[in-house]
């Protein structure tokens, strides 16, 4: 039984559903479809299904919806997870080779769920990218904005951060080595992109059992726009201000910041702990 978990508030979820239902009917697929009124209701529903022994779930929405479904699962043993991208950014879908909208159903009905890594971040799991730095600063500014589209808010917040972000003093411990510096961005990558299309680490692989850790130091303020352009073109791993590390686990401690981001969602914490988990999750992807 395929359990489709729909975020009705996702940008294009309502547009995707008619074609999705039509294609499922044509395939004579056994499924149910749940549209939660709230995030809390959705999480509780997935958890109940998981505890009852259900093992096939498909998130219909964006990265946040997928992260909620992943974290609501009581176990990953025997789980096959899928995604129908219908959100704003859809960053994990891009990295995982999942086509937009109902076309992604082909991977689920005809494809094979593949072993896919995830990041164990203590009390939460992350499938795409976890981190802190200017990306968190941008998200905090977005959440405070009351008007505009999601992408419009992000662009305005990014512009404000360029002129106001002062960096974040961090202590990073990975595989026994300690680094202390003022960070522009520190990200633990399983996927390749974040922020609605920024290819922060095109070298990352989601099935190698490793964390792609990017440690990007704060440049001089007048150079920030230059480096942001490089980031948006997928050049982050090759910049002189970047150290790229492949590791099994990492602990990132920030001095002043109060939030971390996991798959584009903010969570209150001064410490981000990540461990690469390989071989526990199977995902329908390209």
CATH code assigned at 228: 2.60.200.40
Domain-located, residue 117: no
Same domain, 134 and 106: no
Domain-located, residue 285: no
Confidence of residue 151 (pLDDT cuts 50, 70, 90): low
pTM: 0.92
The pLDDT of residue 156: 81
The pLDDT of residue 258: 93
Domain-located, residue 121: no
Same domain, 133 and 267: yes
Same domain, 172 and 252: yes
Domain-located, residue 284: no
The pLDDT of residue 223: 93
- pLDDT of 83 higher than 90: yes
Same domain, 165 and 83: no
Which residues are 2's β-sheet partners? 31
Same domain, 172 and 270: yes
Q: Is residue 228 within a helix (H) or strand (E), and if so which, with residue range?
A: helix 224-232
Domain boundary pick from 79, 111, 143: 111
Structure tokens at 79: 């789980």
Alpha-carbon distance of 146 to 126, in angstroms, equals 27
Alpha-carbon distance of 235 to 242, in angstroms, equals 10
**Could you read off the pLDDT of 31-48 as tens digits, one per residue?**
999 998 899 999 999 999
Question: Following DSSP, what letter does each residue of 121-171 receive, concatenated?
Answer: -SSSEESSEEEEEHHHHHHHHHHH--SS-HHHHHHHHHHHHHHH---EEEE
Same domain, 85 and 165: no
The pLDDT of residue 168: 93
In the chain, what is the straight-line distance between the N-terminal and C-terminal CA atoms, in Å?
22
Average pLDDT along the chain:
93
Same domain, 201 and 137: yes
Show the domain range for 200. Answer: 126-276
**Could you read off the pLDDT of 157-202 as tens digits, one per residue?**
877 887 888 999 999 999 889 999 999 999 999 999 998 889 999 9
Same domain, 104 and 150: no
Same domain, 101 and 184: no
Alpha-carbon distance of 276 to 184, in angstroms, equals 23
The pLDDT of residue 139: 85
The pLDDT of residue 10: 81
Domain-located, residue 163: yes
The pLDDT of residue 124: 97
Cα–chain-centroid distance for residue 239? 23
The CATH number covering residue 73 comes to 3.40.50.10330
The pLDDT of residue 31: 96
Which residues, in sequence order, are CB contacts of 3 under 8 Å at separation 6+? 31, 32, 34, 46, 49, 54, 56, 57, 58
The pLDDT of residue 158: 78
The pLDDT of residue 145: 81
Q: What percent of the chain has pLDDT over 90?
A: 78
Confidence of residue 153 (pLDDT cuts 50, 70, 90): confident
Residues 224-236 have a mean pLDDT of 92
Alpha-carbon distance of 161 to 172, in angstroms, equals 23
Alpha-carbon distance of 68 to 39, in angstroms, equals 8
What total number of domains does the chain contain?
2
Domain boundary pick from 61, 80, 111: 111
Same domain, 131 and 237: yes
Domain-located, residue 286: no
Same domain, 104 and 149: no
Domain boundary pick from 77, 111, 145: 111
Same domain, 168 and 267: yes
* Contact present, 62 and 90 (Cβ < 8 Å): yes
Residues 211-221 have a mean pLDDT of 96
């Amino acid at each position: 039984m395929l359990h489709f978990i729909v975020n009705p508030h996702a940008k294009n979820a309502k547009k995707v559903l008619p074609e999705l239902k039509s294609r499922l009917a044509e395939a004579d697929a056994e499924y149910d479809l749940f549209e939660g009124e709230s995030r809390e209701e959705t999480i509780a529903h997935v958890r109940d299904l998981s505890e009852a022994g259900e093992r096939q779930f498909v998130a219909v929405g964006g990265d946040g919806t997928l992260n909620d479904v992943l974290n609501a699962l009581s176990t990953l043993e025997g789980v096959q997870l899928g995604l129908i991208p219908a959100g704003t950014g859809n960053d994990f879908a891009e990295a995982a080779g999942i086509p937009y909208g109902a076309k992604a159903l082909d991977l689920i009905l005809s494809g094979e769920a593949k072993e896919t890594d995830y990041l164990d971040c203590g009390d939460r799991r992350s499938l795409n990218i976890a981190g802190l730095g200017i990306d968190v600063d941008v998200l905090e500014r977005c959440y405070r904005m009351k008007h505009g589209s999601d992408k419009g808010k992000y662009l305005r917040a990014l512009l404000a951060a360029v002129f106001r972000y002062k960096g974040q003093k961090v202590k990073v411990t990975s595989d026994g080595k300690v680094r202390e510096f003022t960070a522009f961005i520190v990200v633990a990558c399983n996927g390749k992109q974040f922020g609605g299309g920024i290819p922060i680490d095109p070298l990352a692989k989601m099935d190698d059992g490793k964390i792609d850790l990017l440690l990007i130091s704060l440049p001089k303020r007048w150079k920030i726009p230059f480096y942001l352009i490089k980031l948006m073109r997928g050049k982050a791993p090759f910049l002189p201000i970047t150290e790229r590390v492949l590791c099994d686990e990492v602990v990132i401690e920030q001095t002043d910041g109060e939030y971390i981001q996991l798959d584009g969602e903010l969570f209150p914490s001064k410490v981000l702990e990540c461990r690469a988990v390989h071989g526990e999750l199977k995902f329908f992807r390209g």
